[in-house]
Amino acid sequence: MFVQIKNLKYQYSKSAKAVIDNFSLSIKKGEIVSILGESGSGKSTLLRLLVGLEMPSSGSISINENIIVDRHHFVQPEKRGIGIVFQDYALFPHMTVTKNIKYGLKKMSKMEKQKRVDEMLSLISLTEYQNRYPYELSGGQQQRVALARALAPAPSLLLFDEPFSNLDAHLQIKIRSELREILKHTNTTSIFVTHDQTDAVALADRIILLENGIVGNELLPSELESSNYMLKYRTGLRI
């Protein structure tokens, strides 16, 4: 498997309960996995552990057979080759679209950087917007620029933290379809955390249910509608 998360645990020093407890997950190269759970289920903590903003209490994470964290190893965030698209896109307001995309490109010549930016602009269909600033773009366009910036360095793993929450319902439908198509076209291994069942079904190859930091069922998108998760959701029970 391309990504291996084994027995991951995260617990605050003064807390009796783990935020993430015995979390294990294997992901194939190019697979899109959605972590679905309510607020407080541990989704954001999991992302922070993956990207290296937190140190797990125990367990290990490896990507392409390279250990990035365990009892004896801790690879710094900037050396993990992991990209992330945030809820608010986190674009630099004083930079043009081109400069935002180019920002994460290191150890490339000027010509190589521009070639990569041109490829990303073509991929997200925003070539004609290359000299605009974020405030001149719609929410959907900002989302695509954030995706292009994350994809430009060719990350081993791409993480998404509820990236559609700031978009209106009509735009969410369009962006979901575009995002999945781009991720599949680039064969980008991705983890998408969300509380929204529609997002999970539209994007994922597999859905992992997370409750109080513990992995619940693993489902195909077609299985979610008839699952106990949806039954509890409809009846208002805590999931």
pTM for the full predicted model = 0.90
Q: Is 131 helix (H, G, I), strand (E, B) or coil?
A: coil
Superfamily name with CATH number, domain 3-235: P-loop containing nucleotide triphosphate hydrolases (3.40.50.300)
Closest listed residue to residue 123, CA positions, set 87, 82, 154, 85:
154
**pLDDT tens digits, 114-127:** 999 999 999 999 99
Confidence (pLDDT) at 164: 82
Is the Cα dihedral 36, 38, 39, 40 positive or negative?
negative
Confidence (pLDDT) at 106: 86
What stretch of H or E contains 215? strand 214-219
Confidence (pLDDT) at 236: 59
Domain ranges of the chain: 3-235
Contacts of 141 (CB under 8 A, 6+ apart): 126, 129
Residues of the chain with pLDDT below 50 are 239
